[in-house]
Structure 1
Amino acid sequence: MTPEEEKSPSAREDPYALALQAGRGPVYLRFADGRRTRLPVRRWGARPTGADETLLERCNGPVLDVGCGPGRLCGALLDRGVFALGIDVAPHAIARTETRGGAALCRSVFDPLPAEGSWQSLLLVDGNIGIGGDPHALLRRCTQLIAPTGVLLVEVEQHDVEEGCTAWVEDTHGNRGPAFLWACLGAPAVRRVAESLGLSVTDQWISGRRCFLSLGRHDSRPSVVASHAPRAQLR
């Protein structure tokens, strides 16, 4: 966001920030072509779902949660005794995370971050594979952040899609926040990007209506087939 956008009325009254404060919507992700999708703000502010639990069970600490939102996953990991740090560019998201007892920094994934190259698990969930509108640049940066044996745990669209777009958050009254670049990717597209970066899919699973991939560096871990069942909790 530019300084001009930060000072503009639309940025000060960003529907996303207001929804995070209230812990509920409805707010929508609106695309420049006219499509929109409702953002599950209430779910983000609640306790982890069953699908979230399948993700948490695959986390080895320390964990970096990129685009942590109000911190439901960070808080749940800390409750499990797994150190987790959240990062988000939305100050209200950081405040909510800290209120839940989590640790978080108001930073972009492309900013300098603590312990670069040492994170064992990095989370890109709730659509955050779309951050910046350039999945190749995003996954390359995330690969720099994890340890040699670390993994990227990525939520993807269930259908085969690969598109970049301009989007913004808006409420039911048409009030909108600043525009940003975004991307939507399904599992095949993420696999292609991962392969170009020397990453392999080490796990793939579906829980309810949500789909996840685990990505690791080539030869760091054996490849496994897609699974719908959660692994035993790692300790």
Structure 2
Amino acid sequence: MTAQLSEPVRAWRADPYADALRAGRGPLYLRRSDGWLLPLDVARWCAEPDEADATVLARCRGPVLDIGCGPGRMVAALARLGRPSLGVDVMPAAVERTVRAGGSALCRSVFDPLPSEGRWGTVLLIDGNIGIGGDPVALLRRAARLTDPRGSLLVEVAAPDVDERVEVHLDDGDGAWGSPFPWARVGARALGVHAAEAGWSRAVAWEAADRRFVRLTR
């Protein structure tokens, strides 16, 4: 029997997101209840890895799990380098595009059972994916269970010093779609606090091309 889809998964499977991935471009936004819009950089996600992505790829060690892989640019790049890697995403169109690009991916939530739990050398949460589920501590704990004890979690954080939990809708510029779902935005300082609570003991930050990242280890 197929499990009933959660509301966040239903929301990400809304047509505007699938259409944007297939087209390789937006506009696409997360809309808060107060009308504030967070642009989603679909064109960058669908392009080849950029300068900032290269700094992430250079820090990957061992087999790599990309949580919320989207159209799979990181997984495909790792595959071209001969590195074992797997993407997971709740969006079928994202998984299809990842596979077409030469990567491996599963259509699954990070909170579902996943292959090789506890044995991934590197786990990725980039492109704002620390926001998945709206509870960074729960996501960081889940990532810790997926990662080898000697491995690392590479997280992209928001540029501002922010720590917020919100409900959002997908918005294609013509209005909101689907049910609201929880999301989070976390800056580097807040990530350090949440990471310590989730069992990560060391954080090293870096910046590249106006994007900010943190490497967490235990």
| TM-score of the superposed pair, with normalisation by structure 2 | 0.93
Aligned partners of 2:6, 2:150: CA distance in 1, in Å? 41
Q: Cα distance 1:42–1:207, how it changes in 2: closer, same or farther (>3 A)?
A: same
- How many residues are matched? 215
Aligned partners of 2:206, 2:80: CA distance in 1, in Å? 24
- Distance apart, 1:178 and its partner CA: 3.3
Question: Which amino acid in the other structure matches residue 62 of structure 2?
Answer: G
Q: Conserved in 1, the CA contact under 8 Å of 2:7 and 2:181?
A: no
Q: Conserved in 1, the CA contact under 8 Å of 2:155 and 2:214?
A: yes
Aligned partners of 1:86, 1:113: CA distance in 2, in Å? 11
Residues 89-132 of structure 1, C-alpha deviations (whole Å, 9 max, x = no match): 01110000011011000000000000000000000000000000
Superposed, which structure 2 residues align to 1:203-214 within 5 Å? 203-214=204-215
Secondary structure class of the residue paired with 1:179? strand
| TM-score of the superposed pair, with normalisation by structure 1 | 0.86
Aligned partners of 2:55, 2:123: CA distance in 1, in Å? 15
- Distance apart, 1:197 and its partner CA: 2.3
1:139 corresponds in structure 2 to: 140
Question: Which amino acid in the other structure matches residue 21 of structure 1?
Answer: R
Residues 10-51 of structure 1, C-alpha deviations (whole Å, 9 max, x = no match): 887521111111111111111122100211101100000000
1:186 corresponds in structure 2 to: 187
Secondary structure class of the residue paired with 2:76? helix
Aligned partners of 2:12, 2:197: CA distance in 1, in Å? 36
Aligned partners of 2:156, 2:13: CA distance in 1, in Å? 30
Q: Conserved in 2, the CA contact under 8 Å of 1:201 and 1:213?
A: no
Percent sequence identity over aligned pairs: 53
Higher alpha-carbon deviation: 198-207 or 53-62: 198-207
2:51 corresponds in structure 1 to: 50
Unmatched runs of 5 consecutive residues or more in structure 2: none
Unmatched runs of 5 consecutive residues or more in structure 1: 218-235
Residues 175-228 of structure 1, C-alpha deviations (whole Å, 9 max, x = no match): 5233211000000101001112231334210012110000011xxxxxxxxxxx
Aligned-residue CA RMSD (Å): 2.0
Secondary structure class of the residue paired with 2:174? coil
Aligned partners of 1:86, 1:203: CA distance in 2, in Å? 24
Superposed, which structure 2 residues align to 1:1-235 within 5 Å? 13-217=14-218
Aligned partners of 2:30, 2:20: CA distance in 1, in Å? 12
- Distance apart, 1:169 and its partner CA: 1.2
Q: Cα distance 1:175–1:137, how it changes in 2: closer, same or farther (>3 A)?
A: closer
Aligned partners of 1:174, 1:203: CA distance in 2, in Å? 39
Secondary structure class of the residue paired with 1:116? coil
